[in-house]
């Protein structure tokens, strides 16, 4: 296990379109472990995508229970090749990102999503998520397409905020 260095914007890996993972092997499982440890090394961090640690592959980890406890979420999820198959509603949340640590931004996303992905053993799973977990999934999925939360901050009002802590 290792804490990996987190890349910061404007590193090109953060703008890359990540490639699907062909095979779930020990290398991938080690990466998942390291990414989980890295996420947990940052207080308040509930998600980390592979390009943030320089790996341009379609996988991420999230654990919203780190913020809101065990209710209304699936806890730690390690997901490969994720695809959103359904989304509904709207929710604006203030998001921060380890790769752009200076800012927070108000971003509008779907309130509920259903995600289809592979777990770390290569089994297909479906994750119905709502609230913060749904937001975290969409934020991390965007990373896999080279999209950052600042790309989605609306120009209406003052929606990009300089981080104060």
State the catalytic residues: 140
Closer residue to another protein (CB): 24 or 138: 138
Q: Is 134 helix (H, G, I), strand (E, B) or coil?
A: helix
* Tokens 């790769």 sit on residue: 99
Closer residue to another protein (CB): 24 or 149: 149
Please report, as ranges, the residues that interact with another protein according to CB under 8 A: 42-48, 67, 93-98, 104, 132, 135-136, 139-140, 149, 157-158, 164-165
Q: 80: number of CA atoms within 13 Å, CB side?
A: 17
How far is residue 118's CA from residue 125's CA, in Å, rounded to a whole number? Answer: 6
How far is residue 96's CA from residue 91's CA, in Å, rounded to a whole number? Answer: 15
Closer residue to another protein (CB): 24 or 143: 143
Closer residue to another protein (CB): 31 or 136: 136
Q: How far is the CB of 158 from another protein (least distance, A)?
A: 5
Q: How far is the CB of 132 from another protein (least distance, A)?
A: 6
How far is residue 94's CA from residue 80's CA, in Å, rounded to a whole number? Answer: 26
Tokens of 42: 């940052």
Q: How far is the CB of 27 from another protein (least distance, A)?
A: 24
Q: How far is the CB of 59 from another protein (least distance, A)?
A: 15
Task: List CB contacts of 44: < 8 A, sequence separation 6 or more.
Answer: 66, 67
């Amino acid at each position: 296990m290792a804490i990996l260095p987190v890349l910061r914007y404007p590193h090109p890996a953060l703008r890359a379109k990540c490639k699907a993972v062909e095979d779930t092997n020990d290398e991938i499982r080690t990466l998942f472990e390291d990414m989980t440890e890295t996420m947990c090394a940052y207080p308040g961090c509930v998600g980390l995508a592979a390009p943030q640690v320089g790996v341009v592959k379609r996988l991420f980890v999230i654990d919203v229970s780190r913020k809101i406890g065990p209710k209304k979420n699936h806890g730690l999820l390690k997901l490969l090749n994720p695809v959103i198959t359904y989304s509904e509603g709207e929710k604006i949340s203030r998001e921060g990102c380890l790769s752009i640590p200076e800012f927070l931004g108000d971003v509008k996303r779907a309130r509920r999503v259903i995600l289809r992905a592979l777990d770390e053993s290569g089994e297909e799973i479906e994750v119905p998520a709502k609230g913060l977990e749904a937001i975290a999934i969409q934020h991390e999925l965007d990373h896999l397409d080279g999209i950052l939360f600042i790309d989605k901050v609306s120009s209406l009002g003052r929606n990009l905020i300089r981080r104060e802590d």
